[in-house]
Amino acid sequence: MSQSIAVIKGDGIGPEIMDATLRVLDALECDLNYEFIDAGLAALEKHGTLIPQESLDAIEKYSIALKGPLTTPIGKGFSSINVQLRRHFDLYANVRPAISFPGTRSRYEDIDMITVRENTEGAYLSDGQEMIDDGNTGISVIKVTRHGSERIVRYAFELAKKNGRKKVTAVHKANIIKTSSGLFLDVAREVAKEYPEIEFQEMIVDNACMQLVMNPHQFDVVVTTNLFGDILSDLCAGLVGGLGLAPGANIGEKAAIFEAVHGSAPDIAGQKIANPCALLLAAAQMLDHLGMNEKGDAIRHGIRAVLETRRDMVTPDMGGTGTTDTFAQALVEHIKQ
Ligand code: NAD
């Protein structure tokens, strides 16, 4: 039976990279129905709100959304749409693969790791921010719960198990932040015992930063709390050549939203030179999530092959002379071979 997914084309370069991505999904014959929904600036113009209720309803109904980047208008009192979506659907796991691809300017080759970041608690609480002392003291609360820690660590181990990965590293600062980070580490140790076949490693966050830069190949799956995960996942994207190739998934019990990590790139919108890779890799994550791992792998292998052999068809940010469309075209040709 065919699967329906909600599709948000997004703002800026969103529609260009989404069209390229859907073209590749169609070539893979994934048997997906696309329900196009509005969000971001496009929704604001049409409906007067950044996320109309019918868009939320569609994501809830189909439980899967593929999302182009959205522009959050600055200085008009709008809160980030991504944060709103995360909260609305309790998307507790932010999953970001960092994979090396040929032809990218990066320090290392052959990196293949995934960061799993807790997405709903930690230091990023909407009600945990307070200015006191006439604005001279800022207070930020860090809240970590057993429930939140257990479900994120379990998610990381299940992901490792499903993908044949060998090791999970829990990153923490339990030596100093004994309460919140201490609880996260205690829970991680408990959950790890349920997965004896997967190696469990603990690492203090400052050491993890150094180890990632000095010897990234030792990592496989990294699981951590919200703030550390935010920083480490960008560090990992930097290790493999920046945000142009960084996909991300936000996953909850009832819904999952797959997206590129980069934004709507208004500076190059409409020029047809946007790199579709990050959104394509997010689509590959979505296919994995839907149990179509072979098709997900076909996208990843296809991107590798195109980057290696069709420099004329890849976008200028990757050193090519092609466009968003020729990149998609080259991938489709590779898939149809
Ligand atoms: P950005 O990621 O849009 O752009 C940063 C730089 O990277 C720009 O020079 C841009 O041209 C380039 N770039 C980004 N994606 C590219 C691609 N696919 N191919 C080639 N070059 C690419 O970051 P920004 O300029 O800080 O943000 C622009 C808008 O995007 C803002 O409104 C911001 O709120 C929004 N944003 C949305 C998301 C999201 O929806 N997930 C994430 C980040 C930023």
Residues whose CB is less than 8 angstroms from the CB of residue 206 and which lie 6 or more positions away in sequence, other chains included = 173
Ligand 1 closest atom vs CA 81: 40
Q: What is the pLDDT of residues 163-206, one digit of tens each?
A: 999 999 999 999 999 999 999 999 999 999 999 999 999 999 99
Which residue is closest in CA terms to ligand 1's atom 14?
265
pLDDT digits (tens, 9 = 90+) for 249-295: 999 999 999 999 999 999 999 999 999 999 999 999 999 999 999 99
**Cα of 263 to ligand 1 centre, how many Å?**
3
**Mean pLDDT throughout 301-309?**
95
**Identity of the residue numbered 133:** D
pLDDT of residue 75: 66
Whether residue 106 sits in one domain with residue 249 = yes
Do 147 and 1 reside in the same domain of the chain?
Answer: no
Residue where a domain stops, chosen among 239, 261, 288: 239
Residue 5 sits in the same domain as residue 81: yes
Give the global pTM. 0.95
pLDDT digit string (tens) for 86-112? 999 999 999 999 999 988 888 899 999
Q: For residue 34, indicate whether it is catalytic.
A: no
> Does one domain contain both 100 and 248?
yes
Active-site residue, selected from the candidate residues 67, 124, 155, 288: 124
Q: Report the atom number in ligand 1 closest to the C-alpha of 260.
A: 41
Question: Are 89 and 103 found together in one domain?
Answer: yes
Q: How far is CA 54 from the centre of its chain?
A: 24
On whether ipTM exceeds 0.90, the answer is yes
Strands (E) located in the chain: 3-8, 32-36, 64-67, 93-99, 112-118, 129-132, 137-140, 167-172, 199-204, 221-224, 247-251, 256-260
Which residues does ligand 1 sit against, CB inside 6 Å? 13, 17, 69-72, 82, 243-244, 259, 262-268, 274-275, 278, 317
Domain end residue (candidates: 187, 210, 239): 239
**Overall number of domains in the chain:** 2
Q: Are residues 249 and 299 in the same domain?
A: yes
Q: What angle do CA 248, 252, 258 make, to 5 degrees?
A: 25
Catalytic residue chosen out of the listed positions 9, 67, 173, 295: 173
| CATH code of residue 189 | 3.40.718.10
The predicted pLDDT at position 84 comes to 87
DSSP 251: E
Looking at 201, 216, 239, the residue that finishes a domain is 239
Residue among 16, 7, 5, 6 at smallest CA distance from 273: 16
Give the residue numbers spanning the domain of 229.
112-239
Comparing CA positions, the residue from 45, 18, 124, 115 lying closest to residue 80 is 124
User: Which pLDDT band, with edges at 50, 70 and 90, does 77 fall under?
Assistant: low
